[in-house]
Homo-oligomer: A and B are copies of this chain.
Amino acid sequence: MSKVTFAEISPSEFFYRNRDLAGFSNPARALYSATRELVENSLDACETFGILPDIYVRLTPAEMNGSDADPRDYVLKVQDNGPGIEVKHVPNAFGRVFFGSKYTLRQSRGMFGMGGKMALLYGQITTNKPVTIKTSSDGSTAYTFQMMIDIQQNTPIVVRKEASPADGFTGIMVETTLMGDYGRASGKIQEYLKQTAMVTPYANITFVDAYGNLVVFHRNTTSFPNPPRDTLPHPYGMDVEGFRRLLRQTKETTLFNFMRKKNFHRVGDRIARKFLEYVQMDASMDPKSLGNEETVKLVNALHKFQEFLQPDADCLSPLGEEILKAGILKEIDPEFIAIAVRPPSAYSGFPFIVEMALAYGGKNLAAGIKVFRFANRIPLLYDETSDVVWKVVNEEIDWRRYRIPQNAPIAVISHVCSTRIPYKTVGKEYLADRPELEREAKNALRENLRRLTGYLYRKGTMEAVKRKKNIYAKYLPLIARFSTELSQAKRPPRYRKLLDEGEAVEGQRTLEEYR
């Protein structure tokens, strides 16, 4: 009987073999994924340090022998004006899968600490060229690395490293050569940058594409939204492993102090005491003396105890009505906008906020419902029909109840922010249908639909008024003339005032008020 061969593979090897999972399934998709991952890293870095982002993206066809046709090699360059990365961390930050800065409990675009590495890895396996990374944190010295990844070992290979004057530059510049298909990917890449600009109006984004076209998204505000903050884990999201880690790390000597002192989100003296009564455990015992069964009992009780406060969303950084509205006016320019910002909610102990806009009419919207999805300020452009928001829009809401005409020109713009976005894939393409998320999205859409219904009603009423007025305006003069003749009066009655009064009474509001 032949033996089964066992092997161990490294994390980079795993994603090398299964790169579909991370969004690198083919040259067009890979070009898109590489671009977005690097842009998202840059935006996160700038925002963490309160720097208004200047992002520069450039795609250049790489030198090749042979045909110019897609798929072909491209040089992708992404540069930001962020804080840079400490020199000692650069090799691992880009060349070691599962090494990164995305592991705190905070709202960020990047979720898995994967993205930059996949861009490198994919470039390496398709073109065999090293990536160039330049960083400066102080504006005076810049460090340039040329690197590759040892995929089997999951370690970076630094091919070259040199220092040079930074001349004021701070931030990171990444340049990677990869096989891509810009012919196929250009639509999605441009859409991605456009939508990113829409929800990040405080960023400058400059894009030079593979054909040499220049697209610039200028910042139209310098007001920075509150940056997201780290937060403590919430009891409802706690599991045995997490709890045991807290126990291992704690310096507290009583269970009471352990519960109330900065281990759990929004658990202070009062609630800690009530919880320990509920679970019938001795508040003065040493947490480190908890046995296995007691630990499990405690953790189960953490989920069942009803009096923990819901996670507050102070740690989150929603877009807010102003930014949403400005972005939509700029990009879509509809006749009508309604915006609903839901109160903070939580799933499995992770706080989240759903913000949703509904746009109607205007020159740019086509007939039918177009859905724009965002999560933690990044646009989601794939797997639309698997997304919980799409499901809510298309399956959970009866649009006819709101008397929205079929094929009305509509856009639904949805933004979810959370300390943990429930992505179904490492490629961050769509959101799982967590019931709490679904509920909030549905309520947001209903709020907006009620307002659209009201608008359409008034619009319909106003148009009826207008039509009536036109009829009056057409016939009143005739009636006035005939009645003058009939009654052999000397002067026709003053009907003009009637027309004007009618207008004054009804429909004074203009459509401008709905934008």
Could you say which of B85, B104, B124, B241 contacts A124, with CB atoms under 8 Å apart? Answer: B241
A289 within 8 A of B: no
Which of A13-21, A199-207, A209-217, A307-315 binds B?
Answer: A13-21
A295 contacts which chain B residues (CB < 8 A)? Answer: 128
Contact indicator A25/B432 (Cβ below 8 Å): yes
A483 within 8 A of B: no
Report the separation of the CA atoms of residues A83 and B1 in the bound assembly, to the nearest whole angstrom.
9
Report the separation of the CA atoms of residues A93 and B7 in the bound assembly, to the nearest whole angstrom.
9
Contact indicator A6/B101 (Cβ below 8 Å): yes
Contact indicator A7/B240 (Cβ below 8 Å): no
A432 contacts which chain B residues (CB < 8 A)? Answer: 20, 25
A239 contacts which chain B residues (CB < 8 A)? Answer: 125-126
Determine the residue in chain B with the shortest Cβ distance to A114.
Answer: B14
A254 within 8 A of B: no
A65 contacts which chain B residues (CB < 8 A)? Answer: 297
What's the nearest-Cβ distance from chain B to residue A145, in Å? 16
A300 contacts which chain B residues (CB < 8 A)? Answer: 66
A164 contacts which chain B residues (CB < 8 A)? Answer: none
A8 contacts which chain B residues (CB < 8 A)? Answer: 92, 96, 98-99
3 smallest beta-carbon distances between A and B, as pairs: A125-B241, A8-B99, A125-B239
Given A8-B99, A9-B99, A128-B295, 13 more pairs with CB closer than 8 A: A4-B83, A4-B85, A6-B92, A7-B101, A13-B98, A14-B112, A20-B423, A20-B432, A21-B423, A65-B297, A128-B240, A128-B296, A386-B386
A453 within 8 A of B: no
Determine the residue in chain B with the shortest Cβ distance to A64.
Answer: B300
Which A residues form the contact surface with B (CB < 8 A)? 1, 3-11, 13-14, 16-18, 20-21, 25, 45, 48-49, 65-66, 83, 85-86, 89, 92-93, 96, 98-101, 103-104, 112-113, 124-128, 151-152, 239-242, 244-245, 292, 295-297, 300, 383, 385-386, 422-426, 432
Contact indicator B20/A422 (Cβ below 8 Å): yes
What's the nearest-Cβ distance from chain B to residue A150, in Å? 10
Report the separation of the CA atoms of residues A124 and B242 in the bound assembly, to the nearest whole angstrom.
11
What's the nearest-Cβ distance from chain B to residue A349, in Å? 13
Report the separation of the CA atoms of residues A241 and B86 in the bound assembly, to the nearest whole angstrom.
29
Query: Can you list 8 A-B contacts (CB < 8 A)?
Result: A1-B83, A6-B92, A6-B93, A11-B14, A11-B98, A20-B432, A21-B424, A126-B239
Contact indicator B18/A112 (Cβ below 8 Å): yes
A1 contacts which chain B residues (CB < 8 A)? Answer: 49, 83
Determine the residue in chain B with the shortest Cβ distance to A386.
Answer: B386
Contact indicator B240/A125 (Cβ below 8 Å): yes
Contact indicator B424/A5 (Cβ below 8 Å): no
| Stoichiometry (number of copies) | 2
Report the separation of the CA atoms of residues A256 and B295 in the bound assembly, to the nearest whole angstrom.
64
Contact indicator B14/A98 (Cβ below 8 Å): yes
Contact indicator B126/A240 (Cβ below 8 Å): yes
Could you say which of B16, B128, B292 contacts A292, with CB atoms under 8 Å apart? Answer: B128
What's the nearest-Cβ distance from chain B to residue A297, in Å? 7
Could you say which of B3, B242, B425 contacts A424, with CB atoms under 8 Å apart? Answer: B425
Report the separation of the CA atoms of residues A363 and B349 in the bound assembly, to the nearest whole angstrom.
47
Contact indicator A7/B99 (Cβ below 8 Å): yes
Output the residue of A86, A128, A240 with the most chain B CB within 10 A: A128
Report the separation of the CA atoms of residues A13 and B5 in the bound assembly, to the nearest whole angstrom.
25
Report the separation of the CA atoms of residues A152 and B103 in the bound assembly, to the nearest whole angstrom.
13
Report the separation of the CA atoms of residues A100 and B14 in the bound assembly, to the nearest whole angstrom.
12
What's the nearest-Cβ distance from chain B to residue A244, in Å? 8
Report the separation of the CA atoms of residues A17 and B20 in the bound assembly, to the nearest whole angstrom.
20
Contact indicator B10/A98 (Cβ below 8 Å): yes
A100 contacts which chain B residues (CB < 8 A)? Answer: 6-7
A244 contacts which chain B residues (CB < 8 A)? Answer: 128
What's the nearest-Cβ distance from chain B to residue A466, in Å? 43
Contact indicator B6/A241 (Cβ below 8 Å): no
Determine the residue in chain B with the shortest Cβ distance to A7.
Answer: B103
A296 contacts which chain B residues (CB < 8 A)? Answer: 127-128
A45 contacts which chain B residues (CB < 8 A)? Answer: 4
Output the residue of A3, A9, A92, A386 with the most chain B CB within 10 A: A9
What's the nearest-Cβ distance from chain B to residue A127, in Å? 6
Could you say which of B6, B96, B425 contacts A425, with CB atoms under 8 Å apart? Answer: B425
Report the separation of the CA atoms of residues A264 and B126 in the bound assembly, to the nearest whole angstrom.
18
What's the nearest-Cβ distance from chain B to residue A510, in Å? 43
What's the nearest-Cβ distance from chain B to residue A316, in Å? 19
What's the nearest-Cβ distance from chain B to residue A373, in Å? 15
Report the separation of the CA atoms of residues A18 and B427 in the bound assembly, to the nearest whole angstrom.
13
Report the separation of the CA atoms of residues A414 and B476 in the bound assembly, to the nearest whole angstrom.
72
Report the separation of the CA atoms of residues A31 and B7 in the bound assembly, to the nearest whole angstrom.
27
Report the separation of the CA atoms of residues A4 and B152 in the bound assembly, to the nearest whole angstrom.
28
